[in-house]
Structure formats: C-alpha cells, structure tokens
Amino acid sequence: MNQPSSGITVLDQLKGSPRFALFMLLMVPAAGTIGAKEAARLDYVTDAFGSALGIGSVGAVIAVGTAIAGSVAGPLCDRINPRGVLLLSFAMIAASNLVTVALLIQGALATGLIEVLAFWYGLAFGIGVPALLKLQAALVPLDARGSAEIINILRLSVGGIIGVFLARISPSP
C-alpha cells in the first residue's frame, strides 16, 4: 500500500549538497562522451556494413546481449551486493573498449567481429543496469524514488543528446 509522501523531494534532499554538484559535474560530460562515442560507432558501422542496415544488426546484437545478461544479473543483484556486479560491468565495458581500440589500430574490423564486440558490450550493459537501479533504490528514500529515476533518465538523455550534437558539429580528423 502506498504511504503518504513526506513532501521531501530529491531536489530538497540534494539542495546545497556539494555531492550533487560534483555528481552532475562528472556525469553530464560522461554521458555526453557516450553520445559522441555512439555517433562515431553509427558512422563506422554504416561504413563497415555498406549501409545503414548494419546499425540495426549491431543494435539487435547489443539488445540480445543486454537481455540475456539482464535476466541473470537482475535476480543476482537481489541476492548479492550489487556493487560487485556493477564493478564487473564496468570492467567488462573497459575490456570491450580496450579490445576494440587495439583491433581498430590494426585496421578495419570485419562485420562479424563488430557483432561479437557488440554482443560483449550488450552483456556488460545488461549486467550493469540492474546493479545501478538496485543501488539507486537503496540510496533514495521510498517516497522519492520516482523523482530519482526521472533525474537519472534526464541525466543520460540530456548528456547523450549533447554528445551526439557535439560529435556532429565537430570537424572530422
């Protein structure tokens, strides 16, 4: 049953907190770099596959990896500390990015290899999302969880949009 709201919002809880300012200072640019990376990935995949259909193929592979890992990580985060699961996700994403960079330095990637790397990235993402949501729910009071989720979504959306915009207007090397 719903409990009456105490009237305290997430913004009220964070107002004047140096942690909030630091969090926004770090996370919005980080989300922006994600948007820029995704814009570059879209361009590369379109060129590698020879058409925009490659974007759909890679997106589907990422989605399958995310669904598989998320269906396992969600219940796992209910049983163990989600911080360890989140660290595993970050390590997998870092490994995926490092392997991708190492392979790109050697030359263009075959489409099959692009899809393998996309699947790995999807697995890492699928592991991390339930852990992030579980940690967020543990840190925010019950009556403010909806507001916290909205702030979380806006942070990712705004940063991603800014990143894509900056990637599109920046000069090509």
Q: Is 135 exposed, middle or buried (0-12, 13-18, 19+ CB in 10 A)?
A: middle
Residue 107: inside a domain? yes
Residue pointed to by tokens 């925010």: 140
Residue 17 near residue 145 (C-beta atoms within 8 A): no
Residue 61 near residue 120 (C-beta atoms within 8 A): no
Which among 12, 56, 39 has a CA at the least distance from the CA of 167? 39
Residue 10: inside a domain? no
Residue 19: inside a domain? no
Residue 61: inside a domain? yes
Residue 17: inside a domain? no
Residue 26: inside a domain? no
> CB count, 10 Å around CB of 50?
9
- 109: Cβ–Cβ under 8 A, 6 or more apart, which residues? 48, 103, 117
| pLDDT of res. 142 | 79
The one-character DSSP state at 142 is: G
Gap between the Cα atoms of 133 and 142, Å rounded:
13
Residue 55: inside a domain? yes
Domain limits for position 56: 35-169
- Taking CA atoms, 104 is separated from 9, 81, 117, 145, in Å, by 46, 36, 12, 41
Output the pTM of the full model.
0.68
| pLDDT of res. 93 | 87
Residue 1: inside a domain? no
Q: What is the pLDDT along the chain (173 residues), one digit of tens a residue?
A: 444 455 666 666 666 667 667 767 766 666 666 666 777 777 888 888 888 888 888 889 999 999 999 999 989 988 998 888 988 998 998 888 888 888 888 888 888 999 999 999 999 999 998 998 888 878 777 777 777 777 777 766 776 677 677 767 776 65
Gap between the Cα atoms of 76 and 63, Å rounded:
20
Residue 125 near residue 68 (C-beta atoms within 8 A): no
Residue 168 near residue 42 (C-beta atoms within 8 A): no
Distance from the Cα of residue 23 to its chain's centroid: 16
Q: Could you give the number of structural domains in the chain?
A: 1
